[in-house]
Structure 1
Amino acid sequence: MSDMLRAPAEVKYAEELDWLESVDTGPKPFSWRLSPKMVRLFVLGSERADGLDREIAPKWFGDRSFVERSIVTLASDRGLLLIGDPGTGKSWLAELLSAAISRNSTLVVQGTAGTTEDHIKYSWNVSMVIAKGQSRASMIPSPIMTAMENGVIGRFEELTRSTSDVQDALISILSEKYVSIPELDDDNIVFAKPGFSIIATANSRDRGVNDLSSALKRRFNFIRIPVVTNKKSEAEIVRFRTEELLRRHNIELEVPPTLLDVLLQSFADLRAASAAAGSDDERLESALSTAEQIGVLEDAILHSNFFGARTLTSATLASSLVGSLARRSPEDLAILNKYWHGVVEPRSKEHSGEWTGFLEGGRQAIATLS
């Protein structure tokens, strides 16, 4: 794992998955490596009532019903579509589910304007075709076709960013559960084995880019993942990801709880202001997601470690927040400047403490970028 910049979930948590599989006595659908109950335990973590001999730490923080509905969908013949704003953990949930069910979360197609049918079906090894002609040996299966042949989970990221032709090609796969290969005379159909399913993700902010057809919608069960607004849950997510970051970089740096409170409160304030804004020019371009909070904190930690006194300060956190969220100039800078004068400054006078340094750090960052 030390040779990987980012290990997939089935590698990162291999020991835990092995242990869960060894004690799993529940019924397993098709070719699943874990029973539905153990899949849920792996994703959400264990509780005392589960009666396990070891604790399983939670890896995704969200409503339990979302995970259970996702698992039930994957045990059926329908595909699973996770939809929500950027940074709500859709892809991470898809990866965890694939790792627990199939022990392979890497059969992924990334949806873009350049994604073609070949990316979800198959292509050809040109040199082999020239030398020996078209055959199954000279065919290059897509990640989705590989998932079909092995009876495991395939993933499709950012489904609504791919064109309608690509989306339509999924309809036959999800309904007929096979892919025809008309170029071959024999052995020209790949049938999906039991256990095959597709987890797709879609960004709700991409609505209108390439809307899904009603035919494709019927092949998916939709689960909408909301933005986390509960401060306790959000704090757990940020803390979990921050601890991973510190371990990966071998950084010994403490994140004071008071600074985490400042970060959470700032994002809550900015979300409220965005919701109350009358036009897009009065809203930050950022989605203000939990993932962006983690990015702000990661930036501040790395800056403090490499260029600071190896101590995270509120001024550094403020500078990272402004630098991360000020994407448009002058619109975003004006919004942040209004927030700093109208909210952070009065709060600094009332509460002092970390808010004082946060006020000064933000002011300097805004002045530098203006």
Structure 2
Amino acid sequence: MSDVLRAPAETKYAEELDWLESIDDSPKPFSWRLSPKMVRLFILGSERADGLDREISQKWFGDRSFVERSIVTLASDRGLLLIGDPGTGKSWLAELLSAAISRNSTLVVQGTAGTTEDHIKYAWNVSMVIAKGQSRESMIPSPIMTAMETGAIGRFEELTRSTSDVQDALISILSEKYISVPELQGDGKETGDNIVFAKPGFSIIATANSRDRGVNDLSSALKRRFNFVRIPVVTNKKSEAEIVRFRTEELLRRHAIDLDVPPTLLDVLLQSFADLRASAAAAGSDDEKLESSLSTAEQIGVLEDAVLHSNFFGERTLTARALASSLVGSLARRDPEDLAIFNKYLHGVVEPRSKQEGGCWPEFLDGGRDTIATLS
């Protein structure tokens, strides 16, 4: 699917999934395409001890126990709720799990204030209803209903951003494992034609932003129907470097860009985020913190911006100046608060470091100062 901007995981890694399925002789729950062991291997990558004839790439970087608990939950009768700060890879993990288990990660409902009960149950094709009346043929199933009918994994993004009515409707689906269609009752229709039952293998993976607490808190009844897996912010520099490098390589391939990312500049980016996180942790008020979440996803965005700018408008090589400009431009979302925080960081941390260590830091300092001067 080279003509698609972003292919789903089951398409992107189709050849790998086919190969894993062909050698998989372990027990599989329900209608799963891969066994739990193979699902874990697909997500976390292979090791020499696995004894495979080929290498399976690591696609999600995090603690093995989070992946294992997620897989075990999906093999049970309970839904899975991945909760954590923005940019911790919750949605990517949900996509990989759905791709490995069902070979379909596109059955997604996006939770917003405008999400209604119809988005998780069904709607009607008005023209068909007018012409032929309400029937199964004129019904438009939601992604969740489609997942139920096919025994697949349905996904619900940003669950806490949806209203209580939508959350209450989800309780019934998770508890009863069917959706009633009252419009099809009576009129001599066959018994059961007004109910859509979930097939074995159906489950729901929901994600929730831990910073959205208080927006639409989950009821205790809904919480009981989910197993919670909390995804922490990646703070290990080695793991974070692997994630950023993995995503950057994907970006370069997608854009067919032949541009090198020097390891020294990657270290500068990681250290800058570590400094800014430490500053945010020590801040006494929100005004002293950057509005950005400073997540790994933010780092990828900063590096992506710097790489593209260097490729299209620079000398086709990534520089410390371009990286600093991208950092300030991407993360300074409030004026003048965020610019003042960056200015303090450059003078208090980067300037002394550039004098002591040299390397890329002096150029990084100049690039940051110039960008702040431009934005001020």
- Given the two structures, how large is their TM-score scaled by the length of structure 2? 0.98
Superposition CA RMSD, Å: 0.4
Which residue number in structure 2 is paired with residue 282 of structure 1? 288
Note if 1:239 corresponds to 2:245: yes
Deviations 1:247-277 (A, max 9, x none): 0000000000000000000000000000110
Aligned to 1:50: 50
Matches within 5 A, 1:177-326: 177-185=177-185, 186=189, 187-326=193-332
For the residues of structure 2 that align with 1:263 and 1:175, how far apart are their CA atoms? 46
What is the alpha-carbon distance in structure 2 between the residues aligned to residue 4 and residue 167 of structure 1? Answer: 33
1:196-216: CA deviations, max 9, x gaps?
Answer: 000000000000000000000
Give, in whole Å, the separation in 2 of the partners of 1:284 and 1:273.
Answer: 9
1:344 maps to 2:350: yes
Choose from 335, 344, 347 the match for 2:341.
Answer: 335
Amino acid at match of 1:53: D
Cα distance, 1:21 vs. partner? Answer: 0.3
1:72 aligns with 2:72: yes
CA deviations 1:230-254 (Å, max 9, x no partner) are: 0000000000000000000000000
| Residue aligning to 2:119 | 119
Letter in structure 1 aligned against 2:336: P
Match of 2:106 in 1: 106
* SS of alignment partner, residue 183 of structure 1: helix
1:3 CA displacement: 1.4
Residue by residue, what CA displacement relative to the aligned partner does 1:52-101 show, whole Å, maximum 9, x if unpaired? 10000100000000000000000000000000000000000000000000
* Residues in 1 aligned to 2:64 and 2:303: alpha-carbon distance in whole angstroms: 27
1:284 Cα offset (Å)? 0.4
- Runs of 4+ aligned residues of structure 1 deviating over 4 Å after TM superposition are none
For residues 144-155 of structure 1, the aligned pairs below 5 Å read 144-155=144-155
Opposite residue 94 of structure 1, the aligned amino acid is A
SS in 1 for 2:32: coil
SS at match of 1:77: coil
The CA distance in 1 between the partners of 2:227 and 2:217, in whole Å, is 16
- Give unmatched runs, 5+ long, in structure 1: none
Q: Whole-Å Cα distance in 2 between the matches of residues 210 and 113 of structure 1?
A: 9
Q: 2: CA distance between counterparts of 1:228 and 1:356?
A: 28
Distance across 2 between alignment mates of 1:190 and 1:3: 36
Number of residues of Structure 1 aligned to a counterpart in Structure 2: 370
- What is the TM-score with the length of structure 1 in the denominator? 1.00
Q: After superposition, what is the alpha-carbon deviation per residue over 1:268-310, rounded to whole angstroms, capped at 9, x for unaligned?
A: 0000000110000000000000000000000000000000000
CA distance in 1, matches of 2:292, 2:339: 12
Gaps of 5+ in 2: none
Within 2, Cα distance between the matches of 1:201 and 1:120? 15
User: For the residues of structure 2 that align with 1:286 and 1:297, how far apart are their CA atoms?
Assistant: 15
Paired letter, 1:312:
L
SS of residue in 2 equivalent to 1:294: helix
Rounded Cα–Cα distance in structure 1 between residues aligned with 2:261 and 2:285: 36
